[in-house]
Chains A and B, each alone.
Chain A
Amino acid sequence: GAVVSQHPSRVICKSGTSVKIECRSLDFQATTMFWYRQFPKQSLMLMATSNEGSKATYEQGVEKDKFLINHASLTLSTLTVTSAHPEDSSFYICSARRDGPNEQFFGPGTRLTVL
């Protein structure tokens, strides 16, 4: 149990296009989901916290208009990188917190490359 899926696993896009990444908790409900960004050989950097049915809370320095987050159900959150540029290239990882025990589980990540 406690599986979090993420799609796509890898995406290459042209500069200026938008990219949507989906995160699903497959076998549990997640009122709260998180989006992280990870650069090579570094720790995870929290971008935003999303709660089902409400607006996401963004960390300082993260542009909410560039990284659109939607958490429409207890099992699905999406991150849309709008007008992507090469500096947005990174490894994006979502995480879902299981209600009750409150353990946090991570998706497999999405490698975004913007040309």
Chain B
Amino acid sequence: GENVEQHPSTLSVQEGDSAVIKCTYSDSASNYFPWYKQELGKGPQLIIDIRSNVGEKKDQRIAVTLNKTAKHFSLHITETQPEDSAVYFCASRKNAGNMLTFGGGTRLMVKP
């Protein structure tokens, strides 16, 4: 089955700096890659996703890039703010009927 690895497991940045989280997946048939942000004591919130027919997608300060050949995708957060501090999970899915496979999560800490 699909395996998703996520790095780093923890990331500490200074407010205003950029943060990058990387994920690799094993199943070349995967074609949907969402990112979720989970704050303490809350459920994950979908923040951005990308499908295999595009290489990059941007939404204000966050962007996701996808390299299908290398089977990896990354989340980029620019101009980080303390409220960006949370655990971020990447995931992949093979087709619409399948379940998501999650990475292990990255705890992002943005220091003011």
Contacts and interface: CB of A to CB of B under 8 A. Distances in A.
Interface residues of B, number: 18
- For chain A, the bracket of interface size reads 10 to 19
Contacts of A34: 99
Contact of B36 (A6, A42, A102, A106): A106
B44 A106 contact: yes
A6 B43 CA distance: 10
B42 A108 contact: yes
A93 interface: yes
A44 B102 contact: yes
Interface string A17-46: 000000000000000001000000011101
A42 B102 CA distance: 11
A75 interface: no
A44 B44 contact: yes
A111 B41 contact: yes
B102 A102 contact: no
Interface of A: 2, 4, 6, 34, 42-44, 46, 49, 93, 102-109, 111
Interface of B: 32, 34, 36, 41-46, 49, 89, 96, 99-100, 102-105
